[in-house]
Structures are given as C-alpha cells and as structure tokens.
Amino acid sequence: MTATANEQKPILVFDSGIGGLTVLREARVLMPERGFIYVADDAGFPYGGWEEQALRERIIGLFAKLLMEHNPEVCIIACNTAFTLAGADLRAAFPQMTFVGTVPAIKPAAERTRSGLVSVLATPGTVKRAYTRDLIQSFATQCHVRLVGSENLARMAEAYIRGDAVSDDAVRSEIDQCFVEKEGRKTDIVVLACTHYPFMANIFRRLAPWPVDWLDPAEAIARRARSLLPQAVDAIHPDNFDFAVFTSGAPDFPTRRLMQGFGLKA
C-alpha cells in the first residue's frame, strides 16, 4: 500500500541557532512532500565554546524530549559542533531513530583541491574535536589542512541574517587565517564547517584575498536524508504544517519574521 501525505512523519532539522536553515532550504527542494520541524537550541547558543561533556548531556536530554513530542521519521543534525561531538551518542541513545549528520566536508575538499592547501572554517568546538582530526587522518593526509576556529562568526551570522550590519573588518579578521601561501601554492578550498557560515558566503567571497571554493555541504546532507526516506508517489506536503521550535521559548520579532520567511510558523 502506498503511504498518503497524512501517513508521512515529518523531518526534524536541528541546530543551535539559525544555521540549520541553510540545510533546511536544500532539504525542502529534495523533499517537497515532507513536513519539517525546525529546532533551534537558542537557549544553548553558541555551541562553539561549550565544555564537551556538558554539551553532550544537553543534546541527549533535548532529544529525549523532542523525539517524544514530535515523533519525526528522521532527524537531520544540521550542526557540525553538535554532531561531531554527540552524533554517536545520539545513535546509541535512540537506536530506533535515523540521524543524518553534518561533519566538516574534509573528504570532498581533499578530493577536489588542486593546490593541496585546504582550510576548515568552523567553531572552536568543531576544530578541537577528535572527530575532525580523524577525518583529516582518514582522508586528507596528502593535503595541508589548516583548522581555523572562529570565536565570533556564528554570532555574526545570526546578526547578519536578522538584518543587522556586520563590519567588513570584523569578518576579515575571522577568515584571514584561512588563506595560506606555501611554496608558491595557495589555499584553494575553504570548508564551511559550521552551518551558519553559508549565509555569509557572499561577504566571504568579496573579502577573500584571492578566489577560493567555499565548500557548503548543505546539499549533500539533504541528498543523504532523501536517500534514506521512502518517497510515496502520491504524497503531498501536509497543509500549513512546518514550524520552528526555540528552546528559549521566546524568539524575538526579527527571529519570528525570519522563520516566516522560511515558511515556518514560530
């Protein structure tokens, strides 16, 4: 029997803030028939500076509640900082749930670079992770990989996407370290290893000292989720369904307006 729209469970997309929206917009293109629940742990934002064990416990605790309340079919963890830390713990704690993760796109970068110089722009949490070091060990030993942990970019992206001005100098000082020159070669790929950053890609391009490929994994994550979900031929998107959940319980007006712009009730 073919499933109907009403029988399809929603997809839950999770991030510490608004960064997961960069993944949500790709997921929607590939799965227009699905309902989406966007969860922002804004009460815990930013994740980048959290002590690891405390953040792990927070994320597991949140999911115990979220899964019970929303009963999704799949959860997309649209946050490198969360998934590189707690992805395996989530899968172990909730074995009945499918989690699609987000990890720094080091493997595709290592495959594509011509100069052999790759930079990974991420939160301080993600650059510290054993998971990130393992990705480099497994897939990029032939490259020179520079890890750049940015203290402020996630916050700046939050401000920028809500319509606040961000200064060129402030952005430049966060991305400058990504640009390496070595023996006549230059960095040619910068991995955007925080889902907030693609919102600022236009600014990065304008301020870059030379052109590089800014690698955004959003589409690949959406494709992975699509591949795991059955597609009912007659399924249509459930009417008026998609909504956002903020762990603070109190998103401000610019945030609610932003969510509405993404077709989410907040």
Residue 120 · residue 193 · CB < 8 Å = yes
* Residue 144 marked in a binding site: no
Q: Can you tell me which of 103, 154, 161, 229 binds ligand DGL, judged by CB under 6 A? A: 154
**Nearest residue to 86 (alpha-carbon basis) of 46, 125, 51, 59:** 59
DSSP assignment letter at 197? G
DSSP, residue by residue, 3-56 = PPGGGPPPEEEEESSSTTHHHHHHHHHH-TTS-EEEEE-TTT---TT--HHHHH
Residue window 69-108: x/- pattern of binding to ligand DGL, with contact defined by CB under 6 A: ----------xxx---------------------------
Q: Does 22 bind ligand DGL (CB under 6 A)?
A: no
CB 30 within 8 A of CB 231: no
Torsion sign over Cα 9, 253, 78, 25? positive
Tell me whether residue 80 is annotated as binding. Answer: yes
Is residue 255 part of the contact set for ligand DGL (CB under 6 A)?
no
Judged by CB under 6 A, the stretch of 45-53, 141-149, 173-181, 239-247 that binds ligand DGL is: 45-53
User: Is residue 143 annotated as a catalytic residue, yes or no?
Assistant: no
Backbone angles phi, psi at 81, to 5 degrees: -65, -40
Nearest distance, CB of residue 31 and ligand DGL, angstroms:
21
**Is 47 a binder of ligand DGL (CB under 6 A)?**
yes
Beta-carbon contacts of 57 under 8 Å, excluding residues fewer than 6 positions away, are none
User: Interaction with ligand DGL in 106-125: which residues (CB under 6 A)?
Assistant: 123
The answer to whether the bond into 46 is cis (omega within 30° of 0) is yes
- Region 159-218 residues binding ligand DGL, contact defined as CB under 6 A: 194-196
Identified binder of ligand DGL from the candidate list 126, 132, 187, 255, rule CB under 6 A: 126
Active site residues: 79, 194
Residues making up the binding site for substrate: 15-16, 47-48, 80-81, 195-196
Residues lying near ligand DGL in the complex (CB under 6 A) are found at 15-17, 19, 45-48, 79-81, 123, 126, 154, 194-196
